[in-house]
Amino acid sequence: MRLGMRSEKFQEAFERFEKVVDVNQFDSYRELWFAFRKWGAKRWRNTELQNRALAYEGEQLHFPDVAMPRAFGHTVEETKKIMTYRRAKVRREKWATAYKKRAKRQVKVVAKKYKGVGEVRVKALSWYVNRGYSANKIQKRLKDRGIGIQRKKLLKIVREMRLKEKKADSKKYTPKKYRKKRG
């Protein structure tokens, strides 16, 4: 395994390391790597260049097991963050695909349920809802296209397409002046 030349700064640092630590006592490159990492402390960033330069030194010292770390370029903490993010991303993707399937079925149900709303409107609504547009924005876009829908009906459809359940006491959220009076 032939690795590129090392930088001058790293060369100086390794020479200082050799003055402090007897490198001939190490049986493997892995021991050298751990010792240099500990000696370097905050200067050791575990980057690709540092690992390549150390591997070059390991080659010069004739260690048989010289190799680059599997996740070079990342510190242990960064690697943990990356792995956690990947797991979370997989969970999100699984949830998102399940949600999309349910939402797609709901679009078909909405198309059948609201007969006054044509196929073109339903397709437009589902397109806007899938992209996360607000009800106000959807209404404006539909109006611009000349295919408006009544506000009340639009809100009902958007709520259904987003798989939101109707609020338990909707009267509470309606301004007083718009509530119907019961006699």
What pLDDT was estimated at residue 149?
Answer: 85
What pLDDT was estimated at residue 75?
Answer: 52
pTM: 0.38
Classify burial at 68, counting beta carbons within 10 Å of its beta carbon; exposed 0-12, middle 13-18, buried 19 or more.
Answer: middle
Q: Supply 95's token pair.
A: 């949830």
What pLDDT was estimated at residue 53?
Answer: 85
Q: Mention every residue, 6+ apart, whose C-beta is less than 8 A from residue 105.
A: none
Q: Supply 11's token pair.
A: 């060369």
Distance CA 58, CA 21 (A): 14
What pLDDT was estimated at residue 83?
Answer: 65
Distance CA 75, CA 40 (A): 14
Q: Supply 183's token pair.
A: 């006699």
Distance CA 110, CA 89 (A): 30
Distance CA 103, CA 99 (A): 6
Q: What 3-state DSSP class applies to 23?
A: helix
- Distances from the Cα of 112 to the Cα of 115, 119, 130, angstroms: 6, 9, 19
Provide the H-helix boundaries in the chain. 8-20, 29-40, 48-60, 76-113, 119-130, 135-145, 151-161
Distance CA 165, CA 32 (A): 61
Distance CA 36, CA 56 (A): 13
Amino acid at 3: L
Residues of the chain whose pLDDT is less than 50?
Answer: 1-4, 183
Distance CA 181, CA 176 (A): 10
